């Protein structure tokens, strides 16, 4: 069982929003999707789910195209947080729609989760706060029991306690390897704790597909202080500058090799210390427009 | 599967269907009451004229065999059924639901037409019953199949044709206000088309009789409806929702729509007019108005950019 995205492209008003996007997604995986604002994350989701007609490419679920075999789309859940049809309905009415589409929709669990999160079943969706709406969307995603679940900024507007509950639920859902999540979020700390894998979108394209365990083995985040004020060539060539504080440099080297290590130590730095590498560091390292050194005077 | 989709669409639109049914019933009941109260002062002995025995559409002073309100309800239904799903983002749910778009389109259309037919039958039954029950003492209410059948078929054909026009327009137009203006304008323009075509068809070389004209009009409405339904199905298959909010949901239709608009409007206003100067002015106004209407976001955008540069 797998979902394959193959060379998916979408242009809007003659402007390429996503271009040649390809990746595989299997149940049991939690994939993070990150990128700068406006890079096309939501467009990718809408194109994946056939709301937008793709110019090129296709989405295959178990080897079958979702456009030729629309029934396969029921394995894929995406509810647009910004534009959805729920506004005029009360929370108790909403499952009537979803259970007609998702055969495994768990109505009892939906009701239980409403009670757990103290959501009034008689409330109209549009009258809920932004955070509560996000919570309802998430409850619907979980209770749909679709194999592949897309969540677009799911933590937006949620308080810390609810975030933790949700993160725990997502992790529990994938435990039996029957479901997979594709989550876009600007909250990189939250995503860091959840994802096994991260896709990075930049300039309409998928520029990186990181398996976080693997990248943490090859990449290093270093804190360095040199006697000299000039930036060594080895850093300019191989690293991305994350932060500067006085003469303290924090850099990320995505392919840290023994040769680079040797070159750095040969410079006799005053301080060379390894720091824990976070998703935010990878985000900065990959998606900043320049290496960061250009900004230094 | 079919049953699930039917239930989904019914669940989505049942309130709208109910509202349309209530509107049709209420309007017709009021119409009957007004007709009968005006009838009481007139003092004739027949509610229905003798022409009800002819194979022609019946429309008398006090009795209408197929109410205009029913036609209006079909018109409104075509508009709302398509536009609401776009504006309320229900199309997104339908497009991700796993039902093929073709199946969604035809199921929605079939269900809508069946419900509207049901509304027509109930409304006509209630309307005729009210005439029968509320007719004044000494006044007869006599009906005949030729006039009734022709009126019903004609009424249903016109109603279905108008439903198809609104349904199709609401499918390709992504702005509610502009949709209402466009469809209302087009519907009103059809009266001019009728006024232009009637003398052409009833005079030589066609020389159609009243009855022949009625059946020709029925045929034209039904064929137009079928063409619009099938064309709509083709467009629905390729509808991409990023165009929601734009005037045309299908950008490649912009130029054909512009061309048809210019020819159609100029034709209507210039027909039979011997003043060529007025025709040229009509043509130019149509050309400019059509361009501004269809490309106005771009014009507005450029104006905004020009102002920004000018102010800067």
Select from B4, B88, B100 the Cβ nearest to the Cβ of A100: B4
Cβ neighbours of B97 in A, within 8 Å: 73-74, 101
DSSP state at residue A159: -
Angle between helices A107-116 and A130-144 (to 10 degrees): 150
- Compute the radius of gyration of chain A from its Cα atoms: 22
Task: Give the three-state DSSP class for A149.
Answer: strand
**How many CB pairs below 8 A link A and B?**
62
Select from A12, A84, A100 the Cβ nearest to the Cβ of B92: A84
Tokens linked to A177:
């390897």
Task: Go through B268-286 and write b for each residue having 16 or more CB atoms within 10 A of its CB, e for each that does not.
Answer: bbbeeeeeeeebeebbeeb
Question: Which domains are seen in chain A, by residue range?
Answer: 3-211 (3.40.50.300), 219-296 (3.30.70)
Q: Which one, of A121, A156, A123, lies nearest residue A138 by Cα?
A: A156
- pLDDT tens string for chain B (312 positions)? 568 999 999 999 999 999 999 999 999 999 999 888 876 555 567 888 888 888 888 888 788 899 999 999 999 999 999 999 999 999 999 999 999 999 999 999 999 999 999 999 999 999 999 988 988 888 888 889 999 999 999 999 999 999 999 999 999 999 999 999 999 999 999 998 988 888 889 888 888 888 889 999 999 999 999 999 999 999 999 999 999 988 999 999 999 999 999 999 999 888 877 788 888 998 999 999 999 888 876 666 666 667 766 664
Ranges of residues in chain A with a pLDDT under 70 are 288-297
Alpha-carbon distance A244 to A246, whole Å?
Answer: 6
Q: Is A53 on the interface with B (CB under 8 A)?
A: yes
State the smallest CA–CA distance between residue A114 and chain B in angstroms. Answer: 22
Tokens linked to B172:
């390709």
pLDDT score, position A297: 46
Distant-in-sequence, close-in-space partners of A108: CB < 8 Å, separation ≥ 6: none
Cβ neighbours of B87 in A, within 8 Å: none
Select from B100, B238, B241 the Cβ nearest to the Cβ of A70: B100
Cβ neighbours of B239 in A, within 8 Å: 53
Cβ neighbours of A8 in B, within 8 Å: none
Select from A53, A72, A97 the Cβ nearest to the Cβ of B93: A97
- Contact of A174 with A180, CB cutoff 8 Å: yes
Note whether A96 contacts B11, CB cutoff 8 Å. Answer: yes
Angle between helices B145-172 and B176-202 (to 10 degrees): 140
pLDDT score, position B44: 64
Region class of A145: left (phi > 0), else alpha (psi between -120 and 50), else beta = left
Nearest CA in chain A to B85: A85
Q: Which one, of A21, A61, A23, A66, lies nearest residue A40 by Cα?
A: A21
State the smallest CA–CA distance between residue B1 and chain A in angstroms. Answer: 9
Tokens linked to B220:
């034209």
Cβ neighbours of B95 in A, within 8 Å: 49-51
Supply the pTM of this predicted model: 0.89
State the smallest CA–CA distance between residue B252 and chain A in angstroms. Answer: 12
Note whether B96 contacts A51, CB cutoff 8 Å. Answer: yes
Q: Is the dihedral of CA B161, B165, B168, B170 positive or negative?
A: negative
Task: State how beta strands A240-245 and A248-253 pair.
Answer: antiparallel
Task: Give the three-state DSSP class for B266.
Answer: helix
State the smallest CA–CA distance between residue B82 and chain A in angstroms. Answer: 14
State the smallest CA–CA distance between residue A11 and chain B in angstroms. Answer: 10
State the smallest CA–CA distance between residue B173 and chain A in angstroms. Answer: 17
In Å, how far are A207, A242, A289 from A43, measured between CA atoms? Answer: 16, 29, 22
Note the helical H segments in chain A.
41-48, 95-101, 107-116, 130-144, 160-174, 188-194, 212-218, 233-238, 258-266, 279-287
Alpha-carbon distance B2 to B17, whole Å?
Answer: 20
- Contact of A184 with A155, CB cutoff 8 Å: no
Q: Within a 10 A sphere around the Cβ of A72, how many other Cβ atoms?
A: 20
| Chain A 98-117, residues with CB within 8 Å of chain B CB atoms | 100-101
In Å, how far are A77, A94, B99 from B11, measured between CA atoms? Answer: 20, 11, 16
Note whether A100 contacts B240, CB cutoff 8 Å. Answer: no
Q: Which one, of A82, A174, A198, A199, lies nearest residue A130 by Cα?
A: A82
Q: Does residue A38 have a cis peptide bond before it, meaning omega lies within 30 degrees of 0?
A: no
**A85, A89, A137, A148: best mutation site toward chain B, by most B Cβ within 10 Å?**
A85
Tokens linked to A13:
């008003």
Nearest CA in chain B to A82: B89
Select from B4, B7, B240 the Cβ nearest to the Cβ of A52: B240
pLDDT score, position A284: 81
Q: Within a 10 A sphere around the Cβ of B200, how many other Cβ atoms?
A: 12
- Contact of B46 with B140, CB cutoff 8 Å: yes
- Contact of B51 with B148, CB cutoff 8 Å: no
Which ipTM score applies to this complex? 0.86
């Amino acid at each position: 069982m797998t979902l394959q995205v193959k060379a998916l492209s979408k242009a809007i008003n003659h402007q390429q929003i996503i271009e040649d996007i390809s990746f595989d997604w299997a149940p049991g995986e939690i994939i993070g999707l990150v990128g700068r604002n406006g890079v096309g994350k939501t467009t990718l989701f809408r194109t994946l789910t056939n709301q937008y007609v793709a110019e090129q490419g296709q989405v295959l679920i178990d080897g079958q195209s979702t456009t030729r075999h629309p029934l396969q789309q029921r394995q894929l859940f995406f509810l647009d947080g910004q534009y959805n049809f729920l506004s005029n309905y009360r929370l108790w009415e909403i499952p009537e729609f979803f259970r007609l589409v998702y055969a495994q929709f768990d109505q009892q669990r939906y009701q239980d989760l409403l009670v757990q999160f103290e959501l009034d079943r008689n409330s109209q969706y549009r009258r809920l706060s932004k955070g509560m709406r996000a919570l309802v969307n998430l409850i619907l995603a979980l209770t749909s029991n679709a194999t592949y679940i897309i969540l677009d900024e799911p933590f937006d507007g949620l308080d810390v306690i609810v975030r933790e509950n949700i993160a725990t639920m997502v992790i529990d859902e994938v435990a039996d390897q029957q479901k997979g999540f594709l989550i876009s979020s600007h909250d990189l700390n939250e995503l860091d704790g959840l994802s096994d894998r991260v896709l990075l979108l930049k300039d309409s394209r998928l520029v990186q597909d990181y398996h976080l365990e693997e990248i943490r083995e090859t990449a290093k985040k270093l804190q360095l202080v040199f006697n000299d004020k000039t930036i060594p060539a080895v850093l300019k060539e191989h690293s991305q500058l994350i932060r500067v504080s006085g003469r303290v440099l924090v850099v990320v080297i995505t392919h840290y090799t023994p040769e680079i290590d040797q070159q750095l130590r040969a410079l006799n730095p005053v301080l060379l210390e390894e720091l824990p590498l976070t998703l935010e560091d990878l985000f900065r390292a990959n998606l900043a427009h320049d290496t960061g050194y250009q900004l230094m005077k | 599967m079919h049953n699930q989709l039917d239930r989904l669409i019914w669940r989505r639109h049942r309130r709208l269907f109910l509202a349309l049914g209530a509107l049709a019933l209420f309007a017709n009941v009021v119409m009957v009451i007004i007709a009968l109260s005006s009838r009481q002062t007139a003092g004739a002995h027949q509610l229905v004229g003798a022409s009800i025995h002819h194979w022609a559409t019946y429309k008398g002073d006090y009795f209408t065999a197929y109410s205009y309100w029913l036609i209006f309800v079909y018109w409104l239904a075509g508009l709302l059924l398509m536009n609401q799903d776009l504006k309320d983002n229900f199309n997104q749910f339908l497009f991700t639901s796993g039902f093929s778009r073709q199946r969604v389109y035809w199921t929605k259309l079939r269900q809508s037409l069946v419900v509207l037919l049901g509304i027509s039958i109930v409304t006509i039954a209630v309307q005729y019953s009210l005439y029968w029950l509320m007719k004044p003492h000494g006044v007869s209410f006599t009906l005949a199949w030729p006039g009734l059948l022709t009126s019903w078929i004609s009424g249903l054909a016109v109603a279905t044709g108008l439903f198809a026009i609104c349904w199709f327009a609401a499918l390709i137009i992504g702005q509610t206000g502009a949709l209402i203006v466009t469809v209302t304008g087009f519907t009103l323009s059809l009266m001019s088309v009728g006024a232009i075509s009637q003398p052409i068809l009833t005079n030589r070389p066609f020389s159609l009789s009243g009855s022949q004209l009625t059946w020709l009009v029925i045929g034209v409405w039904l064929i137009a409806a079928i063409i619009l339904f099938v064309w709509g199905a083709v467009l629905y298959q390729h509808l991409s929702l990023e165009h929601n909010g734009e005037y045309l949901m299908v950008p490649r239709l912009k130029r054909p729509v512009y061309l048809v608009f210019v020819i159609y409007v100029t034709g209507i206003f210039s027909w039979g007019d011997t003043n060529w100067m007025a025709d040229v002015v009509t043509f130019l106004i149509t050309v400019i108005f059509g361009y501004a209407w269809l490309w106005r976001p771009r014009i507005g955008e450029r104006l905004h950019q020009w102002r920004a540069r000018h102010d800067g």
